Amino acid sequence: MLKSEILNAPLLAALAKCGHTDIVVIADCGLPLPEGPLVIDLALVQGLPSLDQVLEVLARNMVIENSTLAAEAENGPVQELCLARDLDPDFISHEELKAQLPQAKVIVRTGEATPYANAILHCGVAF
């Protein structure tokens, strides 16, 4: 039996397959999702789970080198959530962020409904 706080088996399996330089995207419920990457849909209802809740768990369970947010989220609540977890984000346009989605190893869809509440997490290495 694996000891992990993450109970969602598909999410845990997907994260276990990530390596250095892979990207994991936390997506709000309105982000258009491309064909290709594995999508783990956690959305239950609008607002649940929130980006904050998912980011908190992933930040505790992944080595994250850095994060990328849409420039439209700069100086807003999404940036504050990242900064609170020592994930000083880089910024690109929302269109550029959407263009990077096909390269994601995993996209975790949340119920978040805040505009531009999407984060690209860049996997690091623990050594």
Buried-state track 74-90, b at ≥16 Cβ within 10 A, e below 16: eeeebbebbeeeebebe
Residue 117's φ and ψ, nearest 5 degrees, are -90, 65
Residue 70's φ and ψ, nearest 5 degrees, are -70, 140
Provide the residue type at 85 as one letter. R
**What SS3 class is residue 28?**
coil
Supply the residues annotated as catalytic.
Answer: 20
